[in-house]
């Protein structure tokens, strides 16, 4: 590759289970880059079809990562192939991994850890909003640059390494066990962005305490602890860790994904607030001033209370309306983005000589895509005929579905298209919750206004 491309390899700087990384010089743009070369370990014993799927996933995930242009994510410059060698060219990071900064039994300062992990959350939030899940967040994949910036590396490769396609012949799981979420160990398919939040919590715990939250004498014991044992609170290991920060880390490590932070943005906000010193005595001062002023009832109090109550009612109603419209807009945007990605992938598969002409093989890929919990159906059309499709078993005629159609840009005489149905069930549940919350809030404000009105009448009656 070095002799026939713009990249002159200089030295090997790292290697992993599925790739080798080289420092290289981009002779065209005169800059240092990192070149990661796919290396399929022959010990995996993959068949030809499995090797082809590994390569396909490598290319697709690398291209997905290349679209993640964010200050806290390593930049991908090119995805290429030379002969039977597949590679990606990325930004060369002149820094150290957070893993190299860790020493057994020695934690980093809370403020420094929060500063690093909030940057990780920024990068993850950006990636998650674009449908990319890292799946292998660990200290060695987080690079600290000399200017204090933290960058996430190995997007895409992580998904490949955690795939069911990458197992040994005896079904031994390959990956970094200590940072795997419980759902990754139970069922490889049923994971989402919250698995990255769990792994981020493990990294945060390790940075604060100098040790892992779950560790056993063997892989089996470690997995058992991850699935069943609650972690020791970080404050017991390193006294002085803020209580709020400890709660944030433990919530990230919840066994049930529903009990964790649901987005990286939510985690980032919680981390930022966890090290803000509490203003001791502030509540007492506010409460004392309120009691002193409450002894003097004046008409302005009633007018101000009524005005504030009416403003709150209007604001609550408008807030509910805009949030509901926002939820609908988010579904449309996410469905459009994900649909385009799926259409692009299927167009590549359909164009492949070995896959496109094999309906059974093409059907397997469509079925794999359709297993996403948010998809109701996927249909690959050729003319008016369904070539390959997948329909979720729980679908009923009454289910609310957002259907989007895409033409497939392929060089074939027959016309091809793609129909995708996205479930609105989750959105409708959220909208119902919002309506209930807004209704309760409006009811509470109305009750407050009625109470103020009654109090005003009693006050005037006492004066008379």
DSSP-derived secondary structure for 190-217: S--THHHHHHHHHHHHHHHHSS-SS--S
Q: What is the mean pLDDT of residues 62-66?
A: 73
pLDDT digits (tens, 9 = 90+) for 317-373: 888 888 888 877 777 777 777 777 777 777 777 676 666 667 777 777 777 776 666
Angle at alpha carbon of residue 138, lines to 143 and 342, rounded to 5°: 95
Evaluate whether 103 touches 209 at the Cβ level (below 8 Å).
Answer: no
For the ranges 205-209, 301-305, 310-314, 425-429, the one whose mean pLDDT is highest: 205-209
Cα–Cα dist 22/92, whole Å: 10
Share of residues in the chain with pLDDT > 70 (%): 76
Evaluate whether 347 touches 408 at the Cβ level (below 8 Å).
Answer: yes
pLDDT at residue number 358: 73
Q: Which of 32-46, 170-184, 196-210, 279-293 is the least confident region?
A: 279-293
pLDDT at residue number 265: 93
3-state helix, strand, coil in the chain (%, to 5): 50, 20, 30
Cα–Cα dist 436/419, whole Å: 34
pLDDT at residue number 40: 66
Q: Which of 221-225, 429-433, 437-441 is the least confident region?
A: 429-433
* CB-facing half-sphere around the CA of 361: CA atoms within 13 A: 13
For the ranges 18-32, 204-218, 275-289, the one whose mean pLDDT is highest: 204-218
List, as own/partner pairs, every contact residues 59-63 make where C-beta atoms lie below 8 angstroms and the sequence separation is at least 24, other chains included.
59/86, 60/345, 60/348, 61/155, 61/156, 61/157, 61/159, 61/160, 62/88, 62/156, 62/157
Query: Which helix (H) or strand (E) element contains residue 23?
Result: strand 19-26
More confident position, 448 or 354: 448
Evaluate whether 365 touches 343 at the Cβ level (below 8 Å).
Answer: no
More confident position, 426 or 460: 426
What does pLDDT average to over the chain?
77
Q: What is the mean pLDDT of residues 393-416?
A: 62
pLDDT at residue number 113: 93
Residue 263's pLDDT band, with cuts at 50, 70 and 90, is very high
Q: Indicate whether 188 pLDDT > 70.
A: no
Residue 154's pLDDT band, with cuts at 50, 70 and 90, is confident
Q: How many Cβ atoms sit within 10 Å of the Cβ of residue 245?
A: 23
Evaluate whether 233 touches 285 at the Cβ level (below 8 Å).
Answer: no
pLDDT at residue number 262: 94
Residue 299's pLDDT band, with cuts at 50, 70 and 90, is low
Q: Indicate whether 84 pLDDT > 70.
A: yes
Q: Indicate whether 463 pLDDT > 60.
A: no
More confident position, 49 or 199: 199
Angle at alpha carbon of residue 451, lines to 446 and 453, rounded to 5°: 95
Share of residues in the chain with pLDDT > 90 (%): 19
pLDDT at residue number 333: 76
pLDDT at residue number 396: 52
Residue 47's pLDDT band, with cuts at 50, 70 and 90, is low
Question: Has 125 been annotated as catalytic?
Answer: no
pLDDT digits (tens, 9 = 90+) for 109-120: 899 999 999 999
Q: What is the mean pLDDT of residues 10-38?
A: 83
Q: Indicate whether 292 pLDDT > 50.
A: no
Evaluate whether 369 touches 376 at the Cβ level (below 8 Å).
Answer: no
Q: How many Cβ atoms sit within 10 Å of the Cβ of residue 217?
A: 7
Q: Indicate whether 389 pLDDT > 80.
A: no
Q: Indicate whether 381 pLDDT > 60.
A: yes
Give the active site residue among 125, 136, 154, 196.
136
Q: Indicate whether 414 pLDDT > 70.
A: no
DSSP designation for 133: -
């Amino acid at each position: 590759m070095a002799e026939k491309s713009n990249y002159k390899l200089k030295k090997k700087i790292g290697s992993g289970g599925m790739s080798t990384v080289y420092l290289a010089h981009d002779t065209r743009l005169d800059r240092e880059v990192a070149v990661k070369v796919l290396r399929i370990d022959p010990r995996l014993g993959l068949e030809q079809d499995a090797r082809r799927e590994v390569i396909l996933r490598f290319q697709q995930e690398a291209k997905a990562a290349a679209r993640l242009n964010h200050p806290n994510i390593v930049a991908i410059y090119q995805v290429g192939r030379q002969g039977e060698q597949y590679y990606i060219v990325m930004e060369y990071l002149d820094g150290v991994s957070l893993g190299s900064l860790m020493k057994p039994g020695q934690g980093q300062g809370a403020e420094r850890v929060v500063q690093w992990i909030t940057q990780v959350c920024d990068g993850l939030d950006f990636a998650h909003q674009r449908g990319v899940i890292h799946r292998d967040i660990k200290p060695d994949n987080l690079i600290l640059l000399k200017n204090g910036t933290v960058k996430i590396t190995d997007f895409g490769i992580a998904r490949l390494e955690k795939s069911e396609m990458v197992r040994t012949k005896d079904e031994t799981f390959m990956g970094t066990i200590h940072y795997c979420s419980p759902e990754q160990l139970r069922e490889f398919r049923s994971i989402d962005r919250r698995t990255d939040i769990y792994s981020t919590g493990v990294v945060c715990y390790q940075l604060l305490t100098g040790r892992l939250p779950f560790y056993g004498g063997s892989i089996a014991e470690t997995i058992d602890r991850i699935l069943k044992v609650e972690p020791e609170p970080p404050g017991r290991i390193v006294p002085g860790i803020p209580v709020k920060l400890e709660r944030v880390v433990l919530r990230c490590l919840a066994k049930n994904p529903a009990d964790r932070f649901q987005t990286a943005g939510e985690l980032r906000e919680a981390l930022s607030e966890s090290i803000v010193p509490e203003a001791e005595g502030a509540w007492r001062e506010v409460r004392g001033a309120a009691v002193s002023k409450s002894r003097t009832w004046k008409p302005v109090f009633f007018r101000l209370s009524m005005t504030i109550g009416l403003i709150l009612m209007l604001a609550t109603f408008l807030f509910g309306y805009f949030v509901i419209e926002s939820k609908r807009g988010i579904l449309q945007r996410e469905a459009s983005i994900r649909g385009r990605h799926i259409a692009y992938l299927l167009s590549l598969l359909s164009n492949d000589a070995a896959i496109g002409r094999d309906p059974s093989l093409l059907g397997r890929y469509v079925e794999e895509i359709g297993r996403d919990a948010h998809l109701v159906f996927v249909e690959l059309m050729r003319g008016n005929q369904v070539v390959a499709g997948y329909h979720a078993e729980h679908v009923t005629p009454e289910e609310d579905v957002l259907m989007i159609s895409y033409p497939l840009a392929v060089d074939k005489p027959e016309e091809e298209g793609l129909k995708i149905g996205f479930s609105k069930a989750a959105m409708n549940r959220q909208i119902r919750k919002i309506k209930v919350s807004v209704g309760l809030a409006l009811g509470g404000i109305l009750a407050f206004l009625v109470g103020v009105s009654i109090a005003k009448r009693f006050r005037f009656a006492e004066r008379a």
